[in-house]
Structure 1
């Protein structure tokens, strides 16, 4: 009998959670982002295996509900225990209000939150102690609130997962963990991007309806409290179920991994994926990935970087011609996928300026982003090394004094700045760039009259362009060359920008509008720049930080990582198309070669115009490390897993032959060990350099 009565709250919410997750899976399957083909067995795994995953994760989450119910008791109000507990609560409240304590040392709102919480608990306990008739109605009210919180959070999680999938094509991952840290930008982005009021209103109505039903069916729990021994029996059973769930979840997650990335993601539970990402945000390469002897790794790397000595990437870059100290402006454009450009088949004329500029520039047509986050793109063009698994170096401790592009330019006498329209504390950009010798120009440097439009991510790109030109005019007046790295923001959800600038309204919140407005802002930047004295002594590089979407049928869909890169300097750079396979980490070493720089380098990125360059590219998520060479994609994954795919070209009639870079990734059964070892050599060496402090801006 006790099982029937006292399990009901957890069981009803478990059924609700599994039902909501099942509806979510159907919605994700029907989402246009989900482009894979599924077989019958895939559907069985997605829905049956998925429901099992959901049930197990809720058993763990339900522990919080059970603990709440477990401590419902009349015994604590009996004399003298009730008065002792009440006295202790009053004493604790006085201590928090009148004495110095650890909460006050934290400052901000923490002491207030602590005082309000203890005040509420003291008041509630006092009411139930001195007015016994209030116990049942108060318990019922707070039981209702507790169930409502569970129901609302279950619905809110499903809604969040849907929009997260719509944006990234996966369940919660490392990005979702990041979003917890930067709540101001993320909440602001949500408020500006989505119809929050109607969505939350509907969510609230459903949550209330479900709560009324569950409380009606289970209210006996708070009106007929279980005995002490009944609680022990249920706790033993629930504890066993929780332990079993904790043990089974990783096993089911591993069994659910398949070559069909969408099937694997749909079968998993989003909350579980979030917890895994939170725990494994810093993946130690040597613990989780395939390795080889470190001396062998450097030996293999030497094939690409002649001149390496011992366990170091230090090598000399020599040029026979005199150095040219032109100004350099590097513009990394938010989410500029190659398929937005007309050259790659887009017929919507979203980037008319960039399309025209590409024809007047050195246009790298076969270049790949290293990752799917802004910090990965910034890391690649700044440090010029392959990405490390887990968190970006930009966001890690000890990210200062690295061997960077800014360090090289400073050696050559340049002024070095990082320009960003938002607040650069986001994603730890300020800490990273200041720690590596860059001066910062961000939203903090804008006067009110310099801002015509801003959203949660920062001032619009047009305002930043004007600020950049003011900054460059001031730099040019000093007589010293400058290297400025500008990160744009407007092509980011919520995709809002000033009205009247392009033919897509700024309040339409359209991704296409975000792309087109950024193109417009860049046109305005160059139109004004052309009138400045420093313009014809400047090299401009325009490259995406990453693509708009990296979701696909496989974990690393190569075509989703291709980005445009334009190097423009009229009268200096000869317009041409460079179709060599290359990576973001190669951009700045190549630009430095155009300036005939000679320097001691630790970069793994290469000058792709060198006759000895061996084409290859790096693409990665936070845990899958990819290496592209010889029509093969090699992927290193935890735990020491290695996969290879043959890249079979897919020809599209709408695209010119020189831009045909679409591929079908065909799994390879017999792995090419040479390519596997070469892949390992790059990623293992990059991790080793960082781990052992060998990528600092010194001679070691």
Structure 2
């Protein structure tokens, strides 16, 4: 069995590497412009190791016990031949798939399998020669593979049970490390090897079997809101959501796509900097009635546009990021950063601002493959990534990465180097996170040194230091800054939706931003739309958030808490819970809920907002028209085949 395993490993690595090399040479111009072959080939080895690790985990565990048994070798030969076919088939489909979708086989590859009649007709009508060539090559490779690792070895070595036990334990450890792909915080995923803004090149660093398998694995994160909360006619859902946002769609297939006209005018579009503060809930912020831990933020709140009743959409960082960068509301599924169908052609501010000449940066002091941030942002419009590995001589590195002051130093560097190029910069802090690490000498700790209170004090210190410097720089007058939390820390409680834990700071600053205290109830999804107006960035986008520079807005907030969906309009909170009747409350901060009789209009609106994200994701409609045409290729091809 060991010889069979060795031959299979060598054959698989060689074939996958050769395929990756040939695909890269086919796309050489794009590969060359993005930095050459090295990141694709070396990243590919990591992914191939994980693929081979999955395939060989079982035979490696059993080999010490049955290495010399001919029947076991024969079964292993059949198993490895099946794995060989499973790995090669998507790989040989890659060229045609790339020609259609400009990316390796992914979730759409499996969607095709749901329509065997139509797909067979499509292949027969338009792809006879490629299909025939691929089948011939597949047959030859399968024959060659089975001839190499399908052999049996009558004189294979046997092992005593202590040796077999030791080898099994060693095999388990090797398989675990190979499958995990890294010793870092999170296992290897497609985001780990993403290295540029070209989705095709990032997918070349994968192999097609891995890409398809990961897409299938990610389906566990997708849930139907209609199954949880009940259905609503699509037309009614669209009408309620779009009317609230004041949107008149300009595209029949993209319901919320519309032209945003900025109502602030500047010599050129301003830089947009979104500073996402980890776990900085309103409970810590003095000017929002919280603990007296943020003197710098409190001072800045008197100098900019301060939203005193801003609410997060969820309790995870990915929720805050999808709201602040994509303007996408929360759903019953996981956040879109982690969903396979949103890894390209999904709207972000970076995608929308490209026509205006913006260059987009994502700054994160940790490992950006965490929560698939790297893959999602690089696949959806961001030009440059700055993560821990790119930080030179950071002042402090903790468990989660370089400190907040290092993040702000990188933001300062980006803005200083931008000159007249309009810049979008998304900066995500890491310091205010357990185990509560921060550099010494910045603050005077109170109580236990490693505590959330002290990391909040440090995060606030870093904010103050950055803005003291930014105000002295030339970019101050040309930049709109947003400081907002992703979510609160340690959200919990017996309430169906604990609103006080969704209350977050949101502050807009900059040389052109007037000081203002705003007591309207707003959602995180309103902030990116508002930034566009303040920056004089008129673009086409599908966001349903409200432009808060307009006087007439609906005071409402949307939030997902576990499986519960909350819709707050003024003081009325509607809660949708799976398998239960809805509940409605009047809410008075910080935690007073009074049950009230059903308000039908508020209930219908809440259900519309709960269903909207699932509908937009499933229909691949949350994008701009120029990219949506690529997504339509699949349905168009099937419709032609059906005819």
**Deviation string, structure 1 residues 316-335 (Cα, Å, up to 9, x no partner):** 33356635522221101000
Structure 2 partner of 1:644: 583
Structure 2 partner of 1:675: 602
Instruction: Rate the CA distance shift 1:100–1:689 in 2: closer, same or farther, 3 A.
Output: closer
Instruction: Verify the 8 A CA contact 2:271 2:423 in the aligned structure 1.
Output: yes
Structure 2 partner of 1:458: 401
**Deviation string, structure 1 residues 15-58 (Cα, Å, up to 9, x no partner):** xxxxxxxxxxxxxxxxxxxxxxxxxxxxxxxxxxxxxxxxxxxx
Query: Quick one: which of 36, 44, 49 aligns to 1:107?
Result: 49
Structure 2 partner of 1:58: none
Distance 2:68 2:594 in 1: 64
**Deviation string, structure 1 residues 583-619 (Cα, Å, up to 9, x no partner):** 0000121222223443333111011232331110001
Is there any run of 5+ residues in structure 1 with no aligned partner, and where? 1-91, 126-133, 146-179, 188-276, 650-660
1:494 aligns with 2:421: no
Instruction: Verify the 8 A CA contact 1:335 1:491 in the aligned structure 2.
Output: yes
**Deviation string, structure 1 residues 518-549 (Cα, Å, up to 9, x no partner):** 11122222233233221232221100001112
Where 2:430 maps in the other structure, the secondary structure is coil
- Cα deviation for residue 685 of structure 1 reads 2.5
Instruction: Verify the 8 A CA contact 1:423 1:442 in the aligned structure 2.
Output: no
Instruction: Verify the 8 A CA contact 1:499 1:505 in the aligned structure 2.
Output: no
Instruction: Verify the 8 A CA contact 1:317 1:600 in the aligned structure 2.
Output: yes
Which is further off, 457-466 or 366-375? 457-466
Structure 2 partner of 1:369: 312
Structure 2 partner of 1:662: 590
Instruction: Rate the CA distance shift 1:319–1:514 in 2: closer, same or farther, 3 A.
Output: closer
- How many residues in Structure 1 have an aligned counterpart in Structure 2? 458
Which is further off, 614-623 or 483-492? 614-623
- Cα deviation for residue 386 of structure 1 reads 1.3
Distance 2:305 2:510 in 1: 9
Instruction: Rate the CA distance shift 1:431–1:677 in 2: closer, same or farther, 3 A.
Output: same
Instruction: Verify the 8 A CA contact 1:362 1:574 in the aligned structure 2.
Output: yes
Structure 1 partner of 2:571: 631
Structure 1 partner of 2:509: 568
Is there any run of 5+ residues in structure 2 with no aligned partner, and where? 17-47, 70-159, 170-179, 188-216, 629-643
Where 2:221 maps in the other structure, the secondary structure is coil
Instruction: Verify the 8 A CA contact 1:496 1:506 in the aligned structure 2.
Output: no
Distance 1:521 1:531 in 2: 16
Where 2:493 maps in the other structure, the secondary structure is coil
Instruction: Rate the CA distance shift 1:465–1:320 in 2: closer, same or farther, 3 A.
Output: closer
Q: Which has the larger radius of gyration?
A: 1
Instruction: Verify the 8 A CA contact 1:627 1:633 in the aligned structure 2.
Output: yes
Distance 2:517 2:5 in 1: 68
Q: Give 1:5-404 correspondences, 5 Å limit.
A: 92-97=1-6, 100=9, 107=49, 110=53, 117-118=61-62, 120-121=64-65, 184-185=184-185, 281-309=221-249, 312-319=255-262, 322-323=265-266, 325-347=269-291, 349-399=292-342, 400-404=344-348
- Cα deviation for residue 293 of structure 1 reads 0.7
Instruction: Verify the 8 A CA contact 2:484 2:507 in the aligned structure 1.
Output: yes
Instruction: Rate the CA distance shift 1:456–1:114 in 2: closer, same or farther, 3 A.
Output: farther
1:604 aligns with 2:544: yes
**TM-score (norm. length: structure 1):** 0.60
Instruction: Verify the 8 A CA contact 1:363 1:565 in the aligned structure 2.
Output: yes
- Cα deviation for residue 458 of structure 1 reads 1.2
Query: Quick one: which of 337, 345, 370 aligns to 1:426?
Result: 370
Instruction: Verify the 8 A CA contact 1:342 1:351 in the aligned structure 2.
Output: yes
Instruction: Verify the 8 A CA contact 2:264 2:534 in the aligned structure 1.
Output: no
Where 2:315 maps in the other structure, the secondary structure is coil
**TM-score (norm. length: structure 2):** 0.65
- Cα deviation for residue 401 of structure 1 reads 2.0
Instruction: Verify the 8 A CA contact 2:276 2:429 in the aligned structure 1.
Output: yes
Distance 1:418 1:184 in 2: 20
Instruction: Verify the 8 A CA contact 2:363 2:387 in the aligned structure 1.
Output: no
Distance 2:590 2:181 in 1: 36
Structure 1 partner of 2:172: none
1:692 aligns with 2:634: no
CA RMSD of aligned residues (A): 3.5
1:411 aligns with 2:355: yes
Query: Quick one: which of 536, 541, 546 aligns to 2:487?
Result: 546
Which is further off, 543-552 or 619-628? 619-628
Where 2:586 maps in the other structure, the secondary structure is strand
Structure 1 partner of 2:455: 514
